Structure formats: structure tokens, C-alpha cells
Structure 1
Amino acid sequence: MDILNRLSTQISALATGEQWIVSAQDLMISRTDFQSLSVYLSRESQGGSFSVSSTEQRANPTLTVIKH
């Protein structure tokens, strides 16, 4: 849960229109955990305060979070 709190804090701190790129490597979590996190953030983004897009790279998948 600490990761979720850290991500929520980071997203809240973004200015409108600012984007943040985060990877599994940045968070020091497995690809499987990162995929689960991606699903969670995608569902949370349906609230409209931010959007999420993912890049599936074999070595280092990333998520781009854009604050609205």
C-alpha cells in the first residue's frame, strides 16, 4: 500500500497539464505488480482528474500520467 500512497501523493502534486513517466524499475517492483498497478491507475483515472497511458516495452514498461 505504500506504493499506492506514494503514487497518489505524486499525482496530486502534479500541476494541470504536467505529465509524469514512471516505470517498474523506478518503483522497484516486478513487471506483474506493475501491470496490476497499471490496471488500478487506469480505473482510478476514470474519475477524470488524470489520465494514464502505458508503453509496453519488454525491458522496461512505463506509465505516463497526465494531470487534468
Structure 2
Amino acid sequence: MDLLNQISNQIEQLNSGEKWTVSVQDLLISRADFQSVSVFLSRESEKGLFSLSDLGTIKARFDQTSLTIIKN
């Protein structure tokens, strides 16, 4: 859970319109863990504080090793 708090804090520090790309390599986690982080971020983005770059459906995101977060 500490990782999710760190990611949330990093997003909060972004300025409106600023982008941040987070990757498996940056977080030093497994692909499976990154999939979980991706699902978490997808659900959190529904709150409207940030959006994720258009990477298609959640299923397609499971093949991704990075996500771009855009602060709204």
C-alpha cells in the first residue's frame, strides 16, 4: 500500500496539464504488480483529478509496461 500512497502523492504534486509516465522499471515492480497498479489508477482516474493517456481498454493495458498520467 505504501507504493500506492507514493504514486498518489506524486500525482497530487503535478500541476494541471502536467504529465507523468510511470513504468514497471521506475517502480521496480513485477508486471503482475503493475497490472494491479494500472487497475487502481484507472479506478482513481474516474474521480476526475487526473486522466490516463488513451491506451485502450483495461485488457489492453495489461500488456503495457507504462502509463502516462495527466493531471486535470
Band the TM-score falls in, shorter-chain normalisation: 0.7 to 0.9
Across the two proteins, how many residue pairs are aligned to each other?
Answer: 65
**Aligned match of 1:42:** 42
> What do residues 17-68 of structure 1 show as CA deviations (whole Å, max 9, x unaligned)?
00000101100000000011001100010000100135645xxx10100000
- Share of identical aligned residues, percent? 60
**Aligned match of 2:12:** 12
RMSD: 1.3
AA matched with 2:21: I
Q: Relative contact order (alpha carbons < 8 A, sep ≥ 6): 1 or 2 greater?
A: 2
- Normalising by structure 2, we get a TM-score of 0.83
**Aligned match of 2:67:** 63
- SS for the counterpart of 2:22 is strand
Q: Which protein has the bigger strand share?
A: 1
Deviates more, 1:45-54 or 1:32-41: 45-54
